[in-house]
Amino acid sequence: MSDEQYWITTPEKRRALPGTLKPEKLAPFTTTRNLVRAHGFRQTFDLSDGLPDPEAMTLTGKVYAESEAALSLWLRELRQDLRRATSYDRDGRRETPLLGADLVGVPTEERFSWMANLTLTLILAEVPDPDSEDGHDF
């Protein structure tokens, strides 16, 4: 796995996400069939367009701080930026618009309370185009 940096963009700034965050799945997007049948008819139609299904991008990892207060402040600021985030990207890849994001920070079961397991869920506003060069680089 590469050491690429994830970024979110808000109207005010561009913020780097912690380098410890990694995608939960390596290939998060799949294409499924969208089969439909008209009421009272037996013939089935496939309405899928070949594009991947909308799916959230989940990043997980650990974050560290010098104190519990510093960790709480950092998580609060990150949550505020995520609420205002308009897009996300990885180093050298195009920005992807966001509909929203969610953050869960849970203290780890280690001796220090200033470490937390972080789960960040990005709700994408569009799906990747499999025919484009960077379509699978989300």
Q: Return d(Cα 63, Cα 133) in angstroms, integer.
A: 33
Q: How many angstroms separate the CA atoms of 129 and 106, rounded?
A: 34
pLDDT digits (tens, 9 = 90+) for 46-98: 888 777 777 888 999 999 888 888 999 999 999 999 999 999 998 878 888 99
Mean pLDDT for the stretch of residues 99-127: 87
Nearest residue to 105 via CA among 74, 84, 83: 74
- Stated pTM of the model: 0.77
pLDDT band for position 134 (cuts 50, 70, 90): low
What is the Cα gyration radius of the chain? 19
List CB contacts of 5: < 8 A, sequence separation 6 or more.
16, 17, 19, 90, 91
In sequence order, the 6+-apart residues with CB closer than 8 A to the CB of 27 are 136
Cα separation, 97 vs 124, whole angstroms: 6
Q: Residue 103, SS3?
A: strand
Q: Sorting pLDDT into bands at 50, 70 and 90, what band is 36?
A: confident
Identity at 116, one-letter amino acid code: A
Q: 4 is written with which tokens?
A: 């690429």
